[in-house]
Amino acid sequence: MEKLTNKEEEIMRVLWNLKKAFVKEIIAELPDPKPHYNTISTVVRNMEEKGFIKYHAFGKSHQYYPAISKEAYKKTFMQKTIQHYFEDSYKNVVSFFAKEEKISVSELKEIISIIEKKQKKQS
């Protein structure tokens, strides 16, 4: 699976949120200044060719919907990010956020609790 461009990700977030939408509905959810209809239509068609979205045809109109889940996309690209930038180490990821003060001690304790609960379930 290839990475989406910033504009494609923005459109994908709209589709994940709306579940299905026509191009006009996608544009309505995008921030101002609103892009031109043809621009978004072209991006959406490219995303469909890449396999990220599918559509139902209603005459000449197409209603688009995600072909992949947000979770599947997130998992793929988080794994690649961790591989490329954190030497494939989740410890390095957490350490990075702790050093940048983007994660608190209480949040770390919550993460540890989640891990412990999961390990208990597996035992």
pLDDT digits (tens, 9 = 90+) for 41-60: 999 999 999 999 999 999 99
What's CA 15's distance to the chain center, in Å? 10
Looking at the DSSP bridge assignments, the partners of residue 57 are 62
Tokens matching residue 1: 């699976």
* Distance of alpha carbon 122 from alpha carbon 86, whole angstroms: 27
Q: 90 near 97, Cβ under 8 Å?
A: no
Contacts for 52 with CB less than 8 Å, ≥ 6 apart = 4, 8, 12, 66, 67, 68
Please determine, for residue 1, whether its predicted confidence score (pLDDT) is greater than 80. no
Q: State the pTM of this model.
A: 0.77
* Distance of alpha carbon 6 from alpha carbon 33, whole angstroms: 16
